Amino acid sequence: MSVPTRDAPERALAERRTIDYIPDAERHGSLISQFTLWLAANLQITAIVTGALAVVLGEDVFWSLVGLVIGQVFGAAVMALHGAQGPQLGLPQMISSRVQFGVYGAMIPIALVCLMYVGFSASGSVLAGQAVAQLFHVDDAVGIVLFTAVIVAFTVFGYRVIHAIGRIASVVGVVAFIYMFTRLLMGHDMSALLANRHFTVSSFLLAMSLSASWQIAFGPYVADYSRYLPRSTSPGRTFWAIFAGSAIGAQASMTFGVFAAALAGRQFSGHEVSFVVGLGASGGVAALLYFVIAFGKVTITTLNAYGSVMSIATVVSGLRGDNKLSGRGRLLYILGMIGVAMALALAGRHAFLHEFSSFILFLLAFFTPWSAINLVDYYFITRDRYDVPALYDPNGRYGRWNMTGIGIYVFGVLVQMPFISTAFYTGPLVDRLDGTDISWIVGLIVPAALYFLVARRAARHVPAHLILPADAGRIDTPSDAQAVSS
């Protein structure tokens, strides 16, 4: 499943590029790293807790697992379709949004992306900080600071180190989960547990929503971690590598959460870290499990931190009309974004973070319409025929504001509101659906269909082929372009 690497002029460990195009000479890597990165990102404690919610909120084990699998497949397909764009475009995910929204208009979803990933980083730092604190016998606040320092280091090094950590974390995660499953299921009659089936539509849809929303949340930055692959890399193979890693990892974690919640009940709910560590048969094994929990959060928290930095850099570059970011500027962005996440984690480690997490989950409603519009445009309208230099020029092909894309995006957000069910906000139609949140389904289907119909009839033109930065001085004559409606 690997792709031959090219000899690059530099093999530096630390990344020097940010939101600019990755030239062919600097492309490297293989598809196995895509698989291990997303496997590692999902073999972690927060995914376990997410899976447990299916049982905690009313579903039985069998139908929880079925619902989670179906949502997993659907959500992972959406996120992997984003990831497959990386090798073809050589760009961070959110830069490509300028095609659909305009150079300035893309700042609308990107600003919300920054907020969401800072929130995810903060919530992840709390759980990891608790594990670090127990491992080194220090206060939780100290554990959060130590964990944050590690995230800063890995984010500064960037792409190569992130993938290297993913490879290590995937092996550690697989071994740890085999052990944890063995300890958890030992002495229990699984056939009796699975035979107890009480299907309800609302609970089944809830399980689907939990896993699908989990996967869709990766969409705004998944291509950030595939953009260095050689341009010859097969989009189909890229899709399957990302899909398999993310779906298998998340389903394994959520399955563990389902069984833990069903077998342990209150011993697990609200005490997830201590319960997992309690599976250790000795002090040494318990210490290793604390390490596994902390290390398991390293990959995903680094992805969140790196993604938030790329997003804020995209916003700033749009305002400045360029694609350059100095090494000092990149470091300041990293320290600033991760510093905010750490401050939130420290302030909310006791109570506030629970409410803040509900707000972050509410923000997911703002990304499903973006995902739908981006995917429809890339695969059915523009395909891979991007004018890369124009992505950084407010006066270029894509302009400052694309009101068609923005209008459909806003409509896609609003049409979800009646169906959202979170602690932060609950829509008026949720009670009629027995409390089930189906907003993600509405938020994908409605704007996707609307954008497809409208964009095909728009007067906007796309290039006849992908235009790279080396072609920036070339005049794109009418014969070189074709109308979207053709």
The length of the chain is 486
Closest CA to 286 of 274, 296, 294: 274
3-state DSSP assignment of residue 341: helix
What is the chain's alpha carbon radius of gyration, rounded to the nearest angstrom?
22
Task: Please give the pLDDT value at position 328.
Answer: 80
User: Under the phi-then-psi rule, with left for phi > 0, alpha for psi from -120 to 50, and beta for the rest, what region is 383?
Assistant: left
Q: What is the pLDDT of residues 229-257, one digit of tens each?
A: 999 999 999 999 999 999 999 999 999 99
What angle separates helix 61-83 from helix 201-216, to the nearest 10 degrees?
Answer: 30
Strand partners for 483: 461
- Among residues of the chain, what percentage have pLDDT more than 90? 44
Q: What is the pLDDT of residues 13-47, one digit of tens each?
A: 778 888 889 999 999 999 999 999 999 999 998 89
Q: What is the DSSP string of 296-337?
A: HHHHHHHHHHHHHHHHHHHHHHHHHT-----HHHHHHHHHHH
Q: Is pLDDT of 471 > 50?
A: no
3-state DSSP assignment of residue 467: strand
Q: What is the DSSP string of 23-64?
A: -GGG----HHHHHHHHHHHHSSHHHHHHHHHHHHTT--HHHH
3-state DSSP assignment of residue 271: coil
Burial of 448-466, coded b for 16+ CB within 10 Å and e otherwise, reads: bebbbeebeeeebbbbeeb
CA distance 429 to 432: 5
Q: What is the pLDDT of residues 411-443, one digit of tens each?
A: 999 999 999 888 778 899 888 877 778 899 999
Instruction: Give the DSSP letter of residue 386.
Output: -
When pLDDT is averaged across residues 442-461 and rounded to a whole number, the result is 86
Report if pTM > 0.85.
Answer: yes
Q: Residue ranges per domain, the chain?
A: 24-363
What is the fold, at CATH topology level, of the domain defined by 24-363? Hydantoin permease (1.10.4160)
